[in-house]
Amino acid sequence: MTQLTATFTSTLAKLKEEGRFRALSPAAGIDFSSNDYLGFKSHPALRQTAIAAFEADLETGAGGSRLLRGNHPAHEKLEQEAAAFFGTETALFFANGFLANHALMSALPAPHDIILFDALIHASLRDGIQANPAKHIRIMHNDLNAYEDALSKNKNCWVVVESIYSMDGDLAPLHDLLKLCKKYNAYLIVDEAHATGIFGDKGKGLTHGLQCEHLITVHTCGKALGVAGGLVCAPDIIIQTLINKARSFIYSTAPMPIQAVLVSKALELCAAADQQRARLFELCDLARQHFSSSPSPIIPVILGDEQKALQAAATLQAKGFDIRAIRPPTVPQGSSRLRITLNATLRNEDVVALANALQEIA
């Protein structure tokens, strides 16, 4: 065994010992774990749109970076539609939400700026912050006093939050944060990944209708929208800055044109999906009658210990439910959990059966 192989072997062995080893497994069982909140990933209209686009000779690849040969009319069409839909000046499309978040955090704050980020923000925002030399301050989850304290002591601040937290399902106090950002002239970055398509008028997200020239939002397209991608919505000056400074935008082949075509269609479907949203909220209510106290379709069942979470997930999987254990470093130490999600295609019986199964393993 080479030295390198030995290092990998012992790293993996340690992860196994700590209950943190990750392995791929196929999707099986009733879907209580995807982010396909509206059931769009198998929407016939999206499939038909793809077939029609390729039959009309759409190329598969973009062929280059957006700044070179890869800028396709489908990208620009989507960006105009997204800006109109989400009510922002301009939008910029990335291949996924991770890249969009990384671009924002690594390219926008200047080295002398201060980034105030919620302790529970997504890894993509964290990694972007790490790539930026600006000073950063971790704020206790949703602690408005801590934000105000930091904002009052520092100039040129960026506040970074998620509108719905991906592992906890709770909401950021957006109205109060926006007030603070206006008071202290700070930028507010809101990752709407788990709100897009679900919350706000026509699924436009929880920031929809909030007025502020310092507000930047990210709408991911691989969750409720059922496709893939990340749309940054912001004033034009911010989008121009990203086009000129974001390395993940500049030095990467543009998203496949079909992705933009499908996200355009998904936005159209999203605007007309009040019924699916109503059904999803009905299921959220049903779950709240039995086992949920979450305000969203993301329901954490915190078990603490990695092994407990793994065992509980395995038991539920054996009963036919697709539920996964989430462990550190994705969530804080000691807060390993089951992350249960609801989607509009579930039946009432599925939720009740899960409630019974949870009761049994409690």
Q: What are the residues binding ligand PLP (CB under 6 A)?
A: 96-98, 101, 122, 124, 162, 166, 191, 193-194, 220, 222, 230
Q: Is 208 a catalytic residue?
A: no
Catalytic, out of 72, 122, 136, 219 = 122
CA angle 226, 230, 235 (to 5 degrees): 135
Q: Is 252 a catalytic residue?
A: no
* Greatest extent of the chain over all pairs of C-alpha atoms, in Å: 60
DSSP-derived 3-state class of residue 56: coil
Q: Which is nearer to ligand PLP, 27 or 56 (CB)?
A: 27
CB of 114 to ligand PLP, least distance (A): 22
CB of 40 to ligand PLP, least distance (A): 14
Q: Is the peptide bond before 329 cis (omega within 30 degrees of 0)?
A: yes
Catalytic, out of 219, 223, 248, 252 = 223
State the CB neighbour count (10 A cutoff) for residue 70: 18
Q: Specify the DSSP element, H or E, that contains 271.
A: helix 257-271
Provide the 8-state DSSP code for 54: H
Residue nearest to ligand PLP (CB): 97
Q: Which is nearer to ligand PLP, 162 or 350 (CB)?
A: 162
Catalytic, out of 81, 162, 168, 306 = 162
CA 159 – CA 161 distance, rounded (Å): 7
CB of 319 to ligand PLP, least distance (A): 26
DSSP-derived 3-state class of residue 138: strand
CA 243 – CA 292 distance, rounded (Å): 42
Q: Is 194 a catalytic residue?
A: yes
CB of 237 to ligand PLP, least distance (A): 24
Structure tokens at 93: 């499309």
Catalytic, out of 35, 101, 142, 335 = 35
Q: Is 35 a catalytic residue?
A: yes
Half-sphere CA count of 247, side-chain side, radius 13 A? 7
Q: Which is nearer to ligand PLP, 75 or 122 (CB)?
A: 122
Exposed / middle / buried, residue 1 (Cβ in 10 Å: 0-12, 13-18, 19+) = exposed
Catalytic, out of 96, 142, 166, 336 = 166
Q: Is 319 a catalytic residue?
A: no
CA 222 – CA 201 distance, rounded (Å): 20
CB of 230 to ligand PLP, least distance (A): 5
Q: Which is nearer to ligand PLP, 83 or 193 (CB)?
A: 193
Q: Which is nearer to ligand PLP, 193 or 216 (CB)?
A: 193
Any idea which residues carry the catalytic annotation? 35, 122, 162, 166, 191, 194, 223
